[in-house]
Amino acid sequence: MKNKHPYDHQHLKQVLHRNEMVSGLEEAQAWVQGHLEAVLIGVVVLAAAGFGGWFFYQGQQQKALDAAKALNEAQSVFQQAGSAPAAEAAQDFNQAYAKYQAVVSGYDGTPQAKAAKLGLANTLLAEGKAPDAERAYADLDSRDASDPIAALAGYGRARSLELQGKGADAAKAYQDAGAAYPDSAVAALAVSAAARLQGASGAAKKG
């Protein structure tokens, strides 16, 4: 039996589909907020499993608690940045990036650190730094079908390519994400996005 991912798939799909109604940086910000929100649900589940397993066994329950708290603080700042006026958003995103980086460096090896790496990529995308975001997502795109963060990173990488105007590369990346993570929350969305870009390319050629 395949592992079920700890996300509300319908909720994630609704969040991601809202991208069709916005554009540019606003679209990127809306997507990454919903994206990381879904990941954090999984982090809570992973951390809870850790309490009953490896972390407790190793006597590191306090480390897990501290990591969860630090990740929550980073996410709070990220969400604040997403809803802030443009004049304030840049500073808030910088602060969120720093907090995510602190989780990565301070709690290496925990599920929260891995989620924080995704937070770094999301922040870069929200700041309009699509090339940097693409590279950050690529580092997490392990093609491990059992890793929900990798699935979201695969989709994020494709989205970053699309926002750079690299339609053909983005379409292939969406296709690859759908194939590599067929049971993930973003699989159907990735396939749909690939078809959308391929359709737009075909229409442009006919025109």
Non-local (6+) Cβ contacts of 137 within 8 A are: 118, 121, 153, 154, 156, 157, 160
Rg (CA), the chain: 17
Confidence of residue 54 (pLDDT cuts 50, 70, 90): very low
Among 153, 155, 58, smallest CA distance to 109 is for 58
Task: Please answer whether residues 120 and 136 qualify as being in contact, where contact means their C-beta atoms are separated by less than 8 angstroms.
Answer: yes
pLDDT tens readout for residues 149-173: 888 899 999 999 999 999 999 999 9
Rounded to the nearest 5 degrees, what angle is found at the Cα of 181, between the Cα atoms of 176 and 184? Answer: 135
Q: Give the separation between CA 183 and CA 172, rounded to whole angstroms.
A: 18
Non-local (6+) Cβ contacts of 152 within 8 A are: 35, 38, 39, 118, 184, 185, 186
Q: Which residue has 């006026």 as its token pair?
A: 85
Confidence of residue 112 (pLDDT cuts 50, 70, 90): confident
CA distances from 200 to 47, 97, 99, 167, 203 (A): 42, 34, 39, 9, 5
Task: Please answer whether residues 167 and 205 qualify as being in contact, where contact means their C-beta atoms are separated by less than 8 angstroms.
Answer: no
The whole-chain average pLDDT of the chain stands at: 76
Q: Measure the N-to-C terminal CA separation of the chain; round to a whole number of Å.
A: 48
Q: Give the separation between CA 79 and CA 76, rounded to whole angstroms.
A: 5
48-52, 70-74, 99-103, 181-185: least confidently modelled range: 48-52
Tokens (6 digits) for 203: 């229409």
User: How many C-beta neighbours within 10 Å does residue 34 have?
Assistant: 21
The pLDDT value given to residue 181: 92
At residue 103, φ and ψ (nearest 5 deg) are: -65, -45
The pLDDT value given to residue 86: 81
